[in-house]
A = this chain, B = another copy of it.
Amino acid sequence: MKLTGDGKRKIMVNHELSDLKIQDIGEQGLLERLHKFCPSDVVGDDAAVITTQPEQSLVVTTDMLVEGVHFSHITTSSADAGWRAAAANLSDIAAMGASPLGITVGLGLPGHVQVSWVEQLYQGMTECLEKYHVPIVGGDIVRSPVTTVAITAFGQVHPHLVIRRCSAQVGQAIVVTGIHGAACAGLELLLNPQIGKTLNAAEKAALITAHQRPQPRLDAISLLQKIVNAPNPNSPSPILIAGMDSSDGLADALIQICRASGVGAVIEYSQIPYPSAFNHWLTTDQAWKYILYGGEDFELVLCLPHPWALALVQALGTDAAIIGTVTPGSQVVLQDKHKKFPDQVLTLSQGFQHFS
């Protein structure tokens, strides 16, 4: 977009400024505007250089989000899309027991996208990242017919403190952080506001916030590391904590951990934390569908020795719970100590699978 001396053109240009599009400023112009979101010392080379601590392993995860598939203008502002994208990746870093070091952002953008949309996307990402002192260390911006965000996050963890899905041990306690079902319920409320008639404003806001601004549970990892003590390089063996995040749903996480570890689990219905609004708002079936299969709560599901489980739940207060025990076998069984529900073997059948 060239500024000219012509008066009429000038007015048009001023009018267009608030509606400035990518095609008006080009890739280079957009990159310059986005530099403010990145530390100045890591921008400007073919790659970013980041200092890591010795004795730590590198942890890497990547996620791709496509407009119309993973986010939409109806339910998600660009700032929220940015927050969610950053949170999802930091959650994967937390799920490995690691501390985040930085992220890179690949952006595919149609030329008609507003510059302000992209700036707000970065603003949202930065708001989430700042909380954990995580910089955006690089990226790529390209033309694409559909808005696409590809984030790679990397972190570091002492090799003995890595949390894997495959290391659950029979007898360990199963801990979940936070509450499950809220993010999915929040999305439903955004898509169909009329279903929330019986909810009060605070209940609605809490559910919607759970969807729009999920919190990666790096706080729980930090507490857990204090509980199991600082990494001891002389320790003869790794600390066996199994786990993953619940991004694809609580049922999915429990089943994936049990499958990978060759174990089963018994889970007590009454111990699973969920939004209290569900009790008066949803049918039991609907509530449990959200709690078990909703997904995107980005909480942690951890299998660990009972003393550590108790210490972690104590440290997190009401924000975590022991929901069950790792058992021999291969089934994840949901039990109700009040015998209101029959025992149920959890399956992935209600889970979300792309392309299906």
Q: Cβ of B54 and Cβ of A49 under 8 Å apart?
A: no
**CA–CA, A50 and B356, complex, Å:** 32
Q: Do residues B96 and A353 form an inter-chain contact, with CB atoms below 8 A?
A: no
Q: Which residues of B contact A65 (CB under 8 A)?
A: 142
A233 to chain B, nearest CB (A): 11
Residue A102 at the B interface, CB < 8 A? yes
Q: Does A101 lie at the interface of the complex (its beta carbon under 8 Å from any beta carbon of B)? A: yes
B106 close to A63 (CB less than 8 A): yes
Are A61 and B106 neighbours in the complex by a CB distance under 8 Å?
no
Q: Interface readout for A82-126 with B: 1 if CB under 8 Å, 0 if not? A: 000000000111011010011011111001000000000000000
Q: State whether A108 touches B45 (Cβ < 8 A).
A: no
The answer to whether A55 and B54 have CB atoms under 8 Å apart is yes
| Chain B residue at smallest Cβ distance from A92 | B46
Q: What separation, in Å, do the CA atoms of A91 and B46 have in the docked complex?
A: 9
- Is the beta-carbon distance between A159 and B60 smaller than 8 angstroms? no
Select from chain B the residue with minimum beta-carbon distance to A96.
Answer: B47
When distances are taken between beta carbons in the complex, the residues of chain B under 8 Å from A155 are 47
The answer, yes or no, to whether A164 is at the interface (CB within 8 Å) is yes
Distance from A326 Cβ to chain B, minimum over Cβ atoms (Å):
18
Of the candidates B49, B62, B101, the one whose C-beta lies within 8 Å of that of A96 is B49
Task: Please pick, from B52, B98, B140, the residue contacting A52 in the complex, using a CB distance under 8 A.
Answer: B52
Q: How far is the CA of A55 from the CA of B55 in the complex (A)?
A: 10
Nearest CB in chain B: distance from A157 CB, A: 7
A191 located at the interface, meaning its Cβ lies under 8 Å from any Cβ of chain B in the complex: no
Residue of B28, B108, B144, B245 near A353 (CB, 8 A) is B28
CA distance A146 to B148 in the complex (A): 10
- Whether B355 and A22, one on each chain, are in contact in the complex, defined by CB atoms closer than 8 angstroms, is yes
Name the segment of A66-74, A203-211, A275-283, A311-319 touching the other chain.
A66-74
Q: A51 at interface (Cβ–Cβ under 8 A)? A: yes
A17 at the interface (CB under 8 A from B): no
Flag if A62 contacts B164 (CB, 8 Å). no
Q: If the complex has contacts A26-B356, A64-B140, A145-B145, are A95 and B57 also in contact, measured as CB distance less than 8 A?
A: no
Q: Is the CB of B46 within 8 A of A244?
A: yes
Q: Does A143 contact B (CB under 8 A)?
A: yes
Query: Judging by beta carbons under 8 Å apart, are A142 and B356 in contact?
Result: no
A150 B62 Cβ-Cβ under 8 A: yes
The answer to whether A98 touches B355, judged by C-beta atoms less than 8 angstroms apart, is no
A-B contact pairs, 21 of them (CB 8 A): A22-B355, A26-B353, A27-B354, A28-B353, A45-B244, A47-B60, A47-B93, A48-B61, A49-B159, A50-B58, A51-B57, A60-B138, A62-B104, A62-B139, A64-B107, A64-B144, A106-B150, A143-B354, A143-B355, A144-B146, A145-B145
